[in-house]
Structure 1
């Protein structure tokens, strides 16, 4: 009876997932901004703005101030409240449904569950994602071309008013495609890495195990998802010139990117991407595991 009482309610799994993502974002928002700036480097200019992540980091602080690293924080938090809440909640529910007699599902099932959860989360979180991309990239533009959104609410209201409601879902297809790749890689690889590591006597259930599994998951996810992520970022940040969009779709972005900047540009900003995704993965799962453990420990 006590075990049933300590079972985490499904609704609370959604809350814990979103809360864990939001707490992690407070730490990694500067890295998210840096990642977006690196992916947009060279767009609309004759040459790359930054030659390295360190140069970008230093340039942002010198030109915009330290607090500029947290531009778009409100959008980042809303993204986690929508995207992460949905994807982790759906993943946990599907994971439990696919488990049999206390045994977790196999890797292929984990990957399929991760993809389904990612698509659901991406659709719900795309409006906040659009606002985040624009708010974090605004500082790189000349003063006359900046959008100057005050916060995520102002951004979404202005987008609706100036571009139409559907503009909030601009880039939804590549965003959902990215989410499929990210979640299949991140959620499945985290579960699998944790399961494999736990089979060794050296690892015991706790933060160190969660940290190691998260770092492995973050590395795999970064390598797999970067090309889709850069396409998503450029589409959501693009402007219309004489009524025509800069890109017609994700394939157009990737084609022009490879043609103009080379194949390796598909992984442009690998370091800040992993520096953002790796720690965010680590912190999200650590916070999530701790929230779950706290509930089970103190639930009546």
Structure 2
């Protein structure tokens, strides 16, 4: 109805969808982090098989509690804040859909804020996932994410939770813009293109999110590698490694190509993760009765125009 107030997406919905997706793709996520802290180039499949053979198949889900904790903070914030900002902009501009410029602004600001909010849990996740790629003496052996938070605060101080904050915020801004803006634009195009004849369903969500995952992987790779190396680096004699020092050492040893280290596992993790996340999100939106304000498919437009005529 024209006067009916549209139901807004719950703040928690994005985090729930991201947690569901992360559970499915955690082995690939773990492999990505391990490859980023390993200074020798390796094949993703060989790396995954190596650790599975050495530590067992269940070990591929080591650090899953860290992933859940991160999604509950970071992903809940980035999608929840994006929807809040988008709602405010629409209300102030009197429109029902964001322009491309506002899409970038809302998703970018939400991503930056989420990167700040989620950095402590990002430190926990990286350390728990990268442990298996280190020697026994270098491992943290936290056990679970809550234990990790406690030990980091007690043994290294609260300031450790800000480690890698700058590249993480940069990555979060890029990630949110590239995922949300790309997905929204691709979905609009696929729905409105008369030559494709696609309906608003899971296949369309799959295509749009696959493109979003590919764009996000490429855009985020440099910041992702630097973030992981800074956060997984140990504190030596009370001295914490700086971003500039890690960049200089990595560049000297591996060349500028180190910034794309782990792109393949990152794509193999992020592309399926993005697909699952947006598919889960679309289904959760329908479950709670949220309006997405997407354009009507071409078939529906033609039928509506025929009825009016």
TM surpasses 0.5 = yes
* Among 158, 161, 172, the residue aligned to 2:165: 172
The alignment partner of 2:137 has SS state of: helix
The corresponding residue for 1:25 is 22
Aligned length: 287
The alignment partner of 2:142 has SS state of: coil
1:81 aligns with 2:72: yes
The alignment partner of 1:244 has SS state of: coil
- Once the 2 structures are TM-superposed, how far is the Cα of residue 259 of structure 1 from its aligned partner? 2.4
1:212-227 to 2 correspondence within 5 Å? 212-227=207-222
Runs of 4 or more consecutive aligned structure 1 residues displaced over 6 Å after TM superposition:
none
The alignment partner of 1:143 has SS state of: coil
* Among 36, 61, 69, the residue aligned to 2:33: 36
Q: Kindly tell me: are residues 199 and 119 of structure 1, through their superposed partners in 2, closer, same or farther at Cα, counting changes over 3 Å?
A: same
Consecutive unaligned residues of structure 2, counting only runs of 5 or more, are: 291-309
Q: CA RMSD in A?
A: 1.9
The question of whether the paired residues in 1 share the 8 Å contact of 2:13 and 2:281 is answered with yes
The question of whether the paired residues in 1 share the 8 Å contact of 2:34 and 2:132 is answered with no
| Structure whose CA Rg is larger | 2
Matches of 2:275 and 2:169, distance apart in 1 = 22
Tell which deviates more after alignment, 149-158 or 175-184.
175-184
The question of whether the paired residues in 2 share the 8 Å contact of 1:8 and 1:295 is answered with no
- Once the 2 structures are TM-superposed, how far is the Cα of residue 189 of structure 1 from its aligned partner? 1.1
Q: Deviations over 1:185-207 (max 9, x none)?
A: 11111111111111123221111
1:69 aligns with 2:60: yes
1:118 aligns with 2:97: no
1:275 aligns with 2:275: no
- Once the 2 structures are TM-superposed, how far is the Cα of residue 111 of structure 1 from its aligned partner? 1.3
- Once the 2 structures are TM-superposed, how far is the Cα of residue 270 of structure 1 from its aligned partner? 0.9
Matches of 2:198 and 2:275, distance apart in 1 = 16
* Among 280, 285, 297, the residue aligned to 2:278: 285
The corresponding residue for 1:182 is 175
1:242-281 to 2 correspondence within 5 Å? 242-245=237-240, 247-249=241-243, 251-281=244-274
Tell which deviates more after alignment, 228-237 or 253-262.
253-262
The question of whether the paired residues in 2 share the 8 Å contact of 1:87 and 1:118 is answered with yes
- Once the 2 structures are TM-superposed, how far is the Cα of residue 2 of structure 1 from its aligned partner? 9.0
- Once the 2 structures are TM-superposed, how far is the Cα of residue 98 of structure 1 from its aligned partner? 2.7
